Amino acid sequence: MLGTIGVSSVEDLFREIPSVLHNPEIDVPAPLAEAELRDRFDDLAHSNRTTRDYVSFLGAGAYERIRPSIVDHLVSRSEFLTSYTPYQAEVSQGTLQFIFEFQSAIVALTRMEVANASMYDGASALAEAALMALRVTKKKRVLYASTIHPRWKQTLKTYLGGTEAEPIEVPARNGIVDAGFLESHVDDTTAAFLVQHPNFFGYLEEVDRIAECLEGRQTLWVQASDPISLGLLSPPGDLGADVAVGELQSLGLPLSFGGPYAGFFACQEKYVRQTPGRIVGKTTDAEGKTGYVLTLQTREQHIRREKATSNICTNQSLCALAATIYMASMGPEGLREAARQNFDKAHYLFDGLRGVPGVETLSERPFFNEFTLVLPISAREASRRLREKGILAGVHDPRWTGDANRLVVCVTETKKREELDRMVAAFREII
């Protein structure tokens, strides 16, 4: 092989790598006994500070939740935890059944007509929805709200980078999408409009105006939602959206330092053959017994690449299982109660922080469980001071928030009244 490519030796093959890196001196410590090694790992683990050590008001797509113990108990069973993605449907009936139940639960939650077996995460689900819109409409322009999560926007741009799509960011006004800009830029070449509701800053978008802007345009409305918010807010299907996507972390998945998570993807049935990934269906066998099958497999590992709708390789099924168990154990009333507690506790904290002299709000728009403050000092500095008091104040990176003085604060059902009061008191001290 070296001769074929015209290289005389393996060393020549790697000659572009600096010589100092060829045989680096690695300072490997002396070996340890098993007990000593366990102590060493315990020390390393305790160097991490978690939400058990701080009162956390972080959010932005990764939320601290009350998780029923049944979730971890069931997903830890060996038949679930050690299984792989179901290629052989006939030997994976249990796996296929829970995927079918997951799809059914997502359809009920979003009020859409069909859901797939889940996605990598919320960001890739949003990007795949944009690609589907390009295929369905045969148009090139993709409008997306500037109020979408910054990382999701980065993922969207990456997915569209290899296509002929023309992505256009719709600016924000008063913490939400500028509906006037949207109306003036939607035309017959627009494949889709992508929006997050509630948005990254926590506020509820003017979905009625969005519907008016898109009416009669043959432009797909793609809406990303926090699934817990759908316990209170009108679901995407009832609003008139064509595609509903989102992040499943809220549904029974721990923070886990950022993953693994999973995403959901649901749409109207007329788009089913253009959905990414795969769909599990329910049928009967020759003996009349119930059976579950991979009804639709439009990923490139299953069909010819040129016919595939996506190159997705898995559906994160263990994470989807955790979400399914969470939804089943909570039920409609439990989801509604979790959403209500998020709403009530966030508004309680909002009222307290708004009363701190010098603190302003980005918008007076309605919000669910996140809101954005504009501080009289750097949000990064405020967060540092609060961290010294054992509080993680919120998301403060200006690359995400758009301004050095903005702080995005999140409150979930996990917070107690004394913790909310503690946050207000600490704010008064540091501002």
**55-67+331-430 and 69-327 share one fold:** no
Q: Do residues 61 and 122 lie in contact, with contact meaning Cβ atoms separated by under 8 Å?
A: yes
CA pair distance 389, 415, nearest whole angstrom: 17
> Residue 301: what pLDDT?
66
pLDDT score at 90: 59
- Chain CA centroid to CA 149, Å: 9
CATH placement of domain 55-67+331-430? 3.90.1150.10
pLDDT at 149: 98
| SS3 assignment for the chain | CHHHHCCCCHHHHCCCCCHHHCCCCCCCCCCCCHHHHHHHHHHHHHCCCCCCCCEECCCCCCCCCCCCHHHHHHHCCHHHHCCCCCCCHHHCHHHHHHHHHHHHHHHHHHCCCEECCCECCHHHHHHHHHHHHHHHHCCCEEEEECCCCHHHHHHHHHHHCCCCCEEEEECEECCEECHHHHHHHCCCCEEEEEEECCCCCCECCCHHHHHHHHCCCCCEEEEECCHHHHHCCCCHHHHCCCEEEEEHHHCCCCCHHHCCCCEEEEECHHHHHHCCCEEEEEEECCCCCEEEEEEEECECCCCCHHHCCECCCCCCHHHHHHHHHHHHHHHHHHHHHHHHHHHHHHHHHHHHHHCCCCCEECCCCCECCEEEEECCCCHHHHHHHHHCCCEECCECCHHHHCCCCEEEEECCCCCCHHHHHHHHHHHHHHC
pTM as predicted = 0.90
Helices 417-430 and 317-354, packing angle to 10 deg: 60
- Structural domain boundaries in the chain: 55-67+331-430, 69-327
Do the beta carbons of residue 243 and residue 223 sit within 8 Å? yes
Contacts of 246 (CB under 8 A, 6+ apart): 122, 125, 224, 225, 226, 227, 263, 264
Residue type (1 letter), 275: T
Packing angle, helices 122-137 and 150-160, rounded to 10: 40
Written as six digits, the tokens of 287 are 């003996």
Given CATH 3.30.390.50, say whether it is the number of domain 69-327: no
Note whether 166 and 142 are within 8 A (CB): yes
Pick out the chain residues at pLDDT < 70.
Answer: 84-91, 300-302
Q: In this predicted model, what pLDDT tens digit does every residue of 223-234 receive, in sequence order?
A: 999 999 999 999
> Residue 23: what pLDDT?
76
Instruction: Please choose, from the candidates 325, 359, 397, 341, the residue with its C-alpha nearest in 3D space to the C-alpha of residue 58.
Output: 397
pLDDT at 14: 87
**Side-chain-side CA neighbours of residue 218 (13 Å):** 9
What is the helix (H) or strand (E) element at residue 373, kind and residue range?
Answer: strand 370-374
Q: What pLDDT, on a 0 to 100 scale, did the predictor assign at position 419?
A: 98
